[in-house]
């Protein structure tokens, strides 16, 4: 018994050190689902105050609440420069939205990366989205090329911490093969985790995938809907390419275009076959003047 207690006392500091100050500050408990939305709270404030530049970050929050967004951004930037990951995320969002500072997506991208490098789950999730859409005009100013393998790794890191938006993003990744092998069961799993934390959209998609019995006629975004055109909707009866991993946006769009062509060809073939049957029935009845449609 004494040996067990001694062993526990020896390894307890090592176990505790595995949890970072940031994790303690946002209320994350490793290997446990969060009981509330992750983020600083009165119960975790003693840990938050140990993060670098926390006093500056708190003062920035006071200025922001008072309407001085420019003053808040200056103090938040100082806290971020001292290495506070929560401040780094906030500064990135300020630059992305032009809130208290001029819009600067390149600077936003750099601060998202800084925060994500420290394991900030919100930054990991948002940076993953930038890596998903990096090649599109709306995201080009971030200066980050699309890389779906990196996007998936960031979402996995965010989801592993119990960050609900990260869980939702990872569900999308598995639904559409964004940097991970397309797997609808895995998509449902992560959607349901996000839904359990109150994400209604995740609950909708989990139900949609379950009800479709392995078929998925949905599309990721407006780009894919533009390709599919009139085929878009919940009635497109094609099986998703289970096991396929798309590494870049161009690969996914090429698949969607191919699917569109296949669907259109199948539709035209059905029209032609039906016309042949009508023509044959007409001839069998002794009719004339009916032309067989060209192939």
Q: Which CATH number covers residue 129? A: 1.25.40
Residue 17 lies in a domain: no
**Residues of the domain holding 247:** 119-266
Q: What is the distance of C-alpha 227 from the center of its chain? A: 22
Q: Can you give the pLDDT of all 295 residues of the chain as single tens digits?
A: 443 433 333 333 333 445 799 999 999 988 778 878 899 999 999 999 999 999 999 999 999 999 999 999 999 999 999 999 999 999 999 999 999 999 999 999 999 999 999 999 999 999 999 999 999 999 999 999 999 999 999 999 999 999 999 999 999 999 999 999 999 999 999 999 999 999 999 999 999 999 987 777 677 777 777 777 766 554 455 678 899 999 999 999 898 877 777 676 666 666 666 666 666 767 676 666 556 566 6
In a domain, 204, yes or no: yes
Which residues have CB under 8 Å from 204's CB, separation 6+?
none
Please indicate, yes or no, if residue 161 is contained in any of the structural domains.
yes
d(CA 101, CA 103): 6
Q: Is residue 133 part of a domain?
A: yes
**167 touches 154 (CB < 8 A):** no
Look at residue 86 and tell me if it is in a domain.
Answer: no
- As for how many domains the chain has, the answer is 1
Q: Helices (H), strands (E): how many in the chain?
A: 14, 0
- Identify the pLDDT of residue 117: 97
Rounded to whole angstroms, the Cα distance separating 233 from 77 reads: 44
Cα-flanking dihedrals φ and ψ of residue 22, to 5°? -60, -45
Q: Residue 100 falls within a domain, yes or no?
A: no
Tell whether 124 is covered by a domain. Answer: yes
Q: Are 224 and 253 in contact (CB under 8 A)?
A: yes
Give the pLDDT of residue 234: 43
Q: Spell out the residues 6+ positions from residue 84 whose beta carbon is closer than 8 angstroms to its own.
A: 51, 52, 53, 54, 56, 57
Identify the CA nearest to 88 among candidates 76, 80, 99. 80
Long-range Cβ pairs for the range 196-205 (8 Å, 24+): 196/33, 197/34, 197/37, 197/162, 197/164, 197/167, 198/37, 198/164, 199/164, 199/165, 199/167, 199/168, 201/168, 202/164, 202/167, 202/168, 202/171, 205/171, 205/175
pLDDT for res 91:
98
């Amino acid at each position: 018994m004494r040996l067990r207690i001694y062993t526990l006392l020896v390894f307890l500091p090592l176990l505790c050190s595995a949890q970072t100050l940031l994790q303690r500050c946002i209320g994350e408990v490793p290997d446990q689902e969060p009981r509330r939305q992750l983020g600083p709270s009165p119960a975790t404030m003693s840990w938050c105050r140990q993060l670098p530049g926390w006093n500056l970050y708190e003062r920035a929050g006071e200025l922001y609440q008072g309407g001085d967004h420019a003053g808040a951004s200056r103090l938040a930037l100082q806290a971020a420069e001292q290495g506070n990951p929560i401040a780094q995320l906030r500064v990135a969002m300020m630059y992305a939205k032009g809130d208290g500072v001029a819009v600067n997506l390149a600077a936003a991208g750099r601060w998202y990366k800084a925060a994500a490098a420290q394991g900030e789950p919100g930054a990991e999730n948002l940076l993953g989205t930038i890596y998903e859409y990096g090649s599109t005009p709306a995201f080009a100013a971030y200066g980050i090329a699309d890389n779906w393998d990196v996007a998936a790794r960031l979402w996995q890191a965010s989801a592993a911490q119990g960050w609900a938006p990260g869980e939702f993003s990872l569900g999308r990744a598995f639904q559409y093969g964004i940097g991970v092998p397309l797997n609808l069961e895995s998509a449902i799993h992560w959607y349901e985790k996000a839904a359990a934390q109150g994400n209604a959209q995740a609950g909708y998609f989990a139900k949609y995938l379950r009800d479709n019995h392995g078929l998925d006629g949905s599309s990721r975004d407006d780009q894919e809907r533009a390709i599919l055109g009139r085929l878009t909707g919940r009635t497109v009866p094609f099986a998703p390419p289970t096991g396929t991993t798309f590494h870049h946006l161009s690969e996914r769009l090429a698949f969607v275009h191919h699917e569109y062509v296949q669907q259109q060809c199948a539709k035209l073939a059905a029209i032609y076959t039906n016309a042949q049957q009508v023509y044959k029935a007409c001839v069998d009845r002794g009719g004339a003047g009916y032309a067989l449609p060209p192939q």
